[in-house]
Amino acid sequence: MELEPSVSIVGAGPAGFALAADLQSHGRCVLVYSHPTHLRHANDVKDKGYLLTSGAINGFANIHITSDMSEAVRFSNIIILTVPSTGQQTVLEELKRFNLRRHTIIAVPGNLFSLIKDTQMEVGCIMETNLSPYACRMDEGGLVVLGKKHLISIAALENNLNQVARETIQGIFPMRLKWCRNIIEVCLSNINGVFHPLMMLMNAGRIESTAGDFFLYRDGLTRSVANAMAAVDRVRIQIGEAFGLRLKSTIEVSNECYGHSFTDFVDLARNSGPHNRLKAPPDLDNRNISEDVPDLLVCWYSLAKKVGVDASPIKAVVILAEMATGIDYIKTGRNLRRLHLEDISRAELMARFGSEQEEMIQSRL
């Protein structure tokens, strides 16, 4: 794997600009790509001539921006995708035009991004993380970073990276990387699937009647919502067990990311700085539903069916989201067909992603 100090970031939203500012402050040369049809934040930064950041990342950053994907590909052989998973397919269609055999693509977060790409598309290395490193938003004054994680999880599609390659990737990121056994473990470690959909759906009336005029976690994550989240979390952990994985609870993952010690969902909602200041969105047309239901919960539900785990709580959330929005997420989301896993057997799935496969890899390192 040939890597260099420069990094191309595909995605000019809050997460992309937060990563760009953070990497630049650590001495990286950064180029941010903004899709020609999504230039609002990019144009704001260009008009000002700089990016003003506040909160966990504080200062000014002179960010170089392009709307030419070929420029982003030429700029660096490290391409970090920070677009929502709903936009990953569009990015893949653009990247198919280029020779990427010497490139490393890292999807932040991935949601099994590695499996939806065209099987004919050749990339040097594909990795994905479980979460974005930042809790952030754009406002008229610039970028507000409510929290920066101390740790995120990562894995490569072909999980055969040696220690030198892992250390090189670690050197890019300004937070610790936890290397997982495979991309299934990374996907199951995206705890947004536990938090976001249920908070949105169980507070739908309040969101729509107040246009989101309340704090989503602090006001919306009550004990009953927490109980529903715990049911989904138990299934998530059971899916992991079917793959031979020992997943941590959602609260444990969040505590690990931020260095917290909260005891349960309600404790976190009331007392976590990165969470308790987040306002609710004005309606349900938000990535907490449009991304986390089809590209995360549907994915978990589909894997659960394949490995024989009862995922009724997850299916209930997906169906409730379908009833509220009118969108058939099980059909349109990241199901086994879209993940190119529909025609393989449970045994073949385990051979590729189960714990025995990891043990064989470790024995060769």
Q: Determine which of 65-69, 126-130, 355-359 has the lowest per-residue pLDDT on average.
A: 355-359
pLDDT tens digit string along 100-117? 999 999 999 999 999 987
Q: How far apart are CA 13 and CA 321, in angstroms?
A: 25
Residue 15: pLDDT band by 50, 70, 90 thresholds? very high
Of the two residues 40 and 106, the one the predictor is more confident about is 106
Nearest to 196 by CA among 143, 241, 233: 233
Handedness of CA 157, 33, 134, 300 (dihedral sign): negative
| The predicted structure's pLDDT at residue 161 | 81
Residue 361: pLDDT band by 50, 70, 90 thresholds? very low
Q: Determine which of 82-91, 180-189, 253-262, 285-294 has the lowest per-residue pLDDT on average.
A: 82-91
| The predicted structure's pLDDT at residue 357 | 44
Mean pLDDT (whole number) for 81-90: 92
Residue 4: pLDDT band by 50, 70, 90 thresholds? low
Residue 296: pLDDT band by 50, 70, 90 thresholds? very high
| Average pLDDT for the chain | 92
| The predicted structure's pLDDT at residue 358 | 42
C-alpha dihedral, 172 to 151 to 113 to 335, nearest 10°? 180
| The predicted structure's pLDDT at residue 1 | 52
Q: How far apart are CA 267 and CA 271, in angstroms?
A: 6
Mean pLDDT (whole number) for 82-99: 92
pLDDT tens digit string along 246-281? 999 999 999 999 999 999 999 999 999 999 999 999
> What would the two tokens of residue 209 be?
């009647």
Residue 18 one-letter amino acid:
A
pLDDT(320) > 60? yes
Q: Determine which of 19-33, 35-49, 101-115 has the lowest per-residue pLDDT on average.
A: 35-49
Q: Determine which of 37-41, 50-54, 131-135 has the lowest per-residue pLDDT on average.
A: 37-41
pLDDT tens digit string along 122-167? 899 999 999 999 999 988 879 999 999 999 999 999 877 888 889 8
Q: How far apart are CA 212 and CA 207, in angstroms?
A: 4
Helix, coil or strand: residue 339: coil
Mean pLDDT (whole number) for 13-34: 94
Residue 3: pLDDT band by 50, 70, 90 thresholds? low
**Are 106 and 79 spatial neighbours (Cβ–Cβ below 8 Å)?**
yes
Q: 132: part of which helix (H) or strand (E)? A: none
Mean pLDDT (whole number) for 233-240: 98
Beta bridge partners of 137: 144
Q: How far apart are CA 233 and CA 124, in angstroms?
A: 34
pLDDT(362) > 70? no
